[in-house]
Structure 1
């Protein structure tokens, strides 16, 4: 429960000339900021510009910090103050854990009922499952045509998944033709990787992008994700001094907080309005890495 502020408190948050960061690097420099009581404020900015660091500053979680901080009128100085601050602020860090995936298509539809009649500790009812079945049937997706597939962002992972789907859907001939087209693109990208001597480049990779980078010949010296990293983890990866930092556009991390000089590239796993096919995604990622001919 949030403790009520005193009658003379005007600001919920007050920061004055605050600087903080990791190791010898300040991410926040001489920051002054205040939020009046009762206001809602959004912190906006590009990936890696210090948004997460700002929230860690409020919670007094940074290893390096100077300046003045007041929460609900109380100045934060001692360890006891810091513990009090953490009891007053609700903080939900980004996480992308794999959980118990993959799940079935039916269970995925069933999640639409979450919070309506079942939740933690309360199992879905017969009605929930009947509704899930109804929506599956309404979409004309039969169980014998549904499949669970996993891909690793490499051409070979795509081919394995496509063959599995083709066997279920009876589209083996079409899949074979698609493989030939994909094989030509794969050969072009592999040749470009050799020409750019990717084996001589050290990279830190978001874990879901590691198979792609290893296929391309890069030396992966460290990995991160999918969960949000701690300052200690960030600092250890920065010590590896990579040539490139490869992030995932769908769940980016703020690596520029501690490595402003190292080039950071975001790659894709999923389609978008511009990249609608597997081939589009491969081309896009190759272009981002400078491997297009």
Structure 2
């Protein structure tokens, strides 16, 4: 199956929160079977949106833009969402029957932009809130270039916020206070964005999660030897259908995927899309999407027993 079998209307572009809302409105108008939820709010009170596709028992979750300057991951997820919606809704398209069957077997949760405040800062190089604009400029050492910003608008790295050996990350991370990147916060789950993602996973009890980041063209699939054996099966498939290298573990803690594996003992994956310096240029989008498409697609299938099947 190839993503080029469909011509999507999604246009990759500098993608801030306003552009996300435009595309969400378009998708909901075209595909009313999609559901949209607000799972929480950011520091600056922007809604954190979740798209829900499907009505089945198996529960999958994808997310993007935990890190502000990795906003291209939001573009990937929005294009993938449109691909799924188009395929299910048009019986004349290739793989319609297969995807319609899958639609009835899974419930897919997609949070395309976990960190809208931070994304707005990176994409626009400014935010409207004067108080926080002064704050981020100060902790950015008075530089007005925010392309290296990964944190939320309070200077907390949202993917270092989860209670999975958080104390280790707190002790060894170089920034000891709010910073453009890497500061894990004063305590786990101190930020509204991380709380929203924590609550979402606890409420839904997902069977598998995939978190999209950049960069490295690899993916991580283990944590502290707590991952289930089926994770290795998925990792094998993912590495076979894409050029991404499977890496079981790295010396890192307190990430969303780490916590999910620790808490639920279910498959969790962090995909590092593309290769280069963040934020990756939009000129790389087509190749990034082509490489990521089969991994996201295969994540929707139940691989128990080592065989590709939808249930």
TM-score range, shorter chain: under 0.3
Q: Name the structure, 1 or 2, with higher relative contact order (CA <8 Å, separation 6+).
A: 2
TM-score (norm 2): 0.26
- Structure with the greater alpha carbon radius of gyration: 1
